[in-house]
Structure 1
């Protein structure tokens, strides 16, 4: 059952065998023996792809529940001595990895020494089961309702430009003056379109999409464009802070804050929450809660959020 569900999850005998640390021939034989035992064909195999038969799809759903029950039963008997172990696959963005995760990972490994982490960087939506990823950390409202999304923090954003750009083009004093400027625009990884800027002061709300000479979907490139005076950019405050302190960036319209974005840890809802996923999600939620730039509160004050609540 474990071999069959893993093949379905990743869509490949080779990748399933690698994930289970088995020779491909052994895994193939396991599936063949299972089909012989059941007397039905579970998978359609071609040289290019693997698909699930109607019987296979129904059997897969039952297997997922049965395997989850088995794991839960074993964990309930060994709870006191149960140590999360194995490989934990986490996918996130470069910014969250560099600013939050990596500086504190030694504490996570000290608490869970039998865990190994595979950390991948990908700003685009991915199929967790197909890619073999356990948890993703994402900025913005979740768009996949098949995922459990636990809100763990928020990304505060501001408008910034280089002193060279502002000296050359002037500093806007009101949002209406922004349209006289150039922006570095960010391309949505989901839609491929430039993302407008929401701005607000009290009850006044506005959304703007400035003309730009360059737009990109990469966070590091986006920051570099701002540093090289290509325009005003909407940057995470945590990422901009070192450059503000060094004088390479200046905040623009600080009295007109741009909305913050939710940060969520997400994992499939139709899978049993394994011990390794549970301890990581709890740890990362605490990590973000204590971070001065990414926590839900700042300077002891709750931060308003206009985004929909995410699943707990």
Structure 2
């Protein structure tokens, strides 16, 4: 038995809650993963997992062992990476999930440079705005904007996306150009609504100008849960949009979108990379997160002041 492989297999079974899912992420057969865990239990003379036909639960001894194993794996990974004659190139597969506009407009164009730097990292990228079960789906990390719904996750704040209000010229020709955000609450105008996360709800947008505040909910014809679809609906003239600069910039430049309310401010949208709280952070995951941080330094750097600070006058 390779103790290192056995510990990795055990840790991944605990995180995935399933031998089958763990085997898939380790690119091993379920039988091999099962045998490694069984051999580990035999060597330790301790039952680490309780198995039923439907799920796998960690025992009390297994939970204690798991906490130490993930620390040991992380330390071993760091030690190997720090050796002067060791390979400086992280390797292996990363399973990540990112918002669709971020993937299309920022990550994919920059991915060739990441691959040139780390040619041995293989990325399985889910592209969606859906809520992802990081543990159950064995996802290494997700990139998400806004407030994180699951406060148990570890997260790194990697950027702040500045939001502004836009509409297509065709929409404005049909419905008129609003001069005040409060007009969006009337019957003349429509917004494109966004359905957030697991709740599937829409939320009002707070806009401020010095001492004045308006919470805009608006009426909508269409609500979507995907960023690319949200943008497409706005470009088609279905309503007013709230967009990060990076999404709006090319469409403003070619005349497909027109900015509204230039003297009003919105809170920036924080962007996070989140990952499971107990899973060890491999070198390949660390360099991926650092790469996200580098990209966001250009497109939405951390540290912009929030509205309350901008409106103290």
Matched residues in 2 for 1:200 and 1:252: separation?
Answer: 14
Matched residues in 2 for 1:268 and 1:284: separation?
Answer: 18
Residue aligning to 2:192:
184
CA contact (8 A) 1:185 1:216 kept: yes
CA contact (8 A) 2:196 2:202 kept: yes
Residue aligning to 1:230:
238
Secondary structure, aligned partner of 2:54: coil
Residue aligning to 1:37:
43
- Cα deviation for residue 304 of structure 1 reads 1.7
Q: Which runs of 5+ in 1 are unaligned?
A: 297-301, 308-312
Residue aligning to 1:299:
none
Q: Which runs of 5+ in 2 are unaligned?
A: 1-6, 309-313
CA contact (8 A) 1:196 1:208 kept: yes
- Cα deviation for residue 2 of structure 1 reads 1.6
CA contact (8 A) 1:94 1:121 kept: yes
Matched residues in 1 for 2:55 and 2:153: separation?
Answer: 25
Q: Which shows bigger deviation, 36-45 or 109-118? A: 36-45
The aligned length equals 300
Matched residues in 2 for 1:65 and 1:246: separation?
Answer: 51
Which 4+ runs in 1 deviate beyond 6 A? none
Residue aligning to 2:55:
49
Where in structure 2 are the equivalents of 1:82-231 lying within 5 Å?
Answer: 82-180=88-186, 181-231=189-239
Matched residues in 2 for 1:249 and 1:222: separation?
Answer: 13
Q: Closer, same or farther in 2 for the Cα pair 1:167/1:82, shift >3 Å?
A: closer
- Cα deviation for residue 115 of structure 1 reads 1.4
- Cα deviation for residue 94 of structure 1 reads 0.7
- Cα deviation for residue 101 of structure 1 reads 0.8
- Cα deviation for residue 122 of structure 1 reads 2.8
User: Normalising by structure 1, what TM-score?
Assistant: 0.87
Q: Deviations over 1:206-238 (max 9, x none)?
A: 212112222121212222222222221222232
Residue aligning to 2:256:
248
